[in-house]
Amino acid sequence: MVVLAPVLLISFVLLLMQHTPASASGGGLLAGGRRWGPRAVDDGSTKYAVVFDAGSSGSRVHVYCFDGNLDLVPIGKEIELFKQKKPGLSAYAKDPQEAAESLVSLLEEAEKVVPVELREQTPVRVGATAGLRALGTERSEEILQAVRDLLRDKSSFKSQPDWVTVLDGSQEGAFQWVTINYVLGKLGKPYSNTVGVVDLGGGSVQMAYAISEKDAAKAPEVADGEDSYVKKLLLKGTTYYLYVHSYLHYGLLAARAEILKASEGNDYNNCMLEGHHGMVACFFNHLGKYKYGDDTFEASGSSSGASYSKCRALAVRALKVDEPACTHMKCTFSGVWNGGGGDGQKNLFVASFFFDRAAEAGFVNPKAAVAKVKPSDFEEAARRVCKLNVKDAQATYPDVSEENIPYLCIDLVYQYTLLVDGFGVDPYQDITLVKKIPYSNSFVEAAWPLGSALEVASSS
């Protein structure tokens, strides 16, 4: 299967506010003319689209309904159907059939909200992200094939084999940027009025923001097979040059492994809470170990406890901030060009695990949809947490799940380090943590599937 190439990503945007008649072939065109999914169904006034986000930490299903102007229409009392479950598909690396079966309950929830007469015309997409990318081609393809078979045999929605695929990181980041700017009503405005997006998943982290045409012209060439740094998009009649890059191995769960891997001797325990010896979780096989993918790392705490400053030094080392391979004037980390900065990055929306950990650490209301914070808030929280042992951390942060308690110090340290040292955000710059975004009288999940659903809906 040809990997999605996003050079002409989201050509649907020509239609976002200029809704033209459907072509005979239907489908949303991506780079290279590849089509991912059929036209969304149109019953005369509404269209439905179903998108599965098969992430590394869990699977989620989104069902959207659009009117003729591509505005979201409520589904029941909510603006979308959103359901999720854990673990993700990559947790079933050795059992593809079980991986596919894990989506059944989500599929059933989606079918409940789409009218019976429209289900067989409603497109269903499955986009797997960093978790499956990390498994390698053979294993991920086995799981994808099992999912295709499931949709063919047990789903009432319209599906085709190539509508179930692994998203490349830049596609995921671009769809996320479209989602947030669409909901905020920014599309069609000058690039300086748009917001930048950082999406921290379990296996990868994406940065996307609009840059000037002048900065876009400075984008370094990339090696064959790699995603280009800049995507040219036409959204609501406005041309945008979108800087987007996905950092595989630097999502929150993957970064734990990178930090532990970067340790020398047993200094990994500077990031682990005292008393972490006897807790059992799905991420490690036995006591004091952390398992990610096929690798297992020492992760026990020491009697002296964690150290914020020493753990931060490990996080900086893992990010390769001073990577010698950086041949550009400005880099983020690991030798990656930073896009040049500018107005499109000054208003930053930060999603996924950033919001989750902030809420669990107590400096964001977990019931809020959006919150204004500063990177320094993560630093302050990390300093408090790293002083605790496992028992005290459990008592202090009851909203943190048992398997994540030992990693609360390393997670918060990493998030601060990623923002400040990795992406060069000022520690005291205001950023917006976002879980859901207000839309009309409801809220929309701040996730890439809406961008994907818009792409398929706009082609009809």
Catalytic sites, residue numbers: 172
In one-letter notation, the amino acid at residue 387 is: K
Backbone dihedral angles phi then psi of residue 171, each to the nearest 5 degrees: -65, -45
Three-class SS string for 242-299? EEEEEEECCCHHHHHHHHHHCCCCCHHHHHCCECCCCCCCCCCCCCCEEEECCEEEEC
Q: Coil, helix or strand for 156?
A: coil
E strands, 20-113, in order: 47-54, 59-66, 81-85
| CA atoms of 396 and 385, how far apart (whole Å) | 9
Rounded to whole angstroms, how far apart are CA atoms 35 and 27? 6
d(CA 158, CA 170): 26
The strand pair at 238-248 and 230-235 is best described as antiparallel
Which one, of 60, 114, 71, lies nearest residue 457 by Cα? 71
**Encoded tokens for 260:** 């532990």
Q: Cα separations (Å) of 435 from 88, 98, 349, 443?
A: 19, 29, 10, 9
Q: Which two tokens stand for residue 13?
A: 């945007």
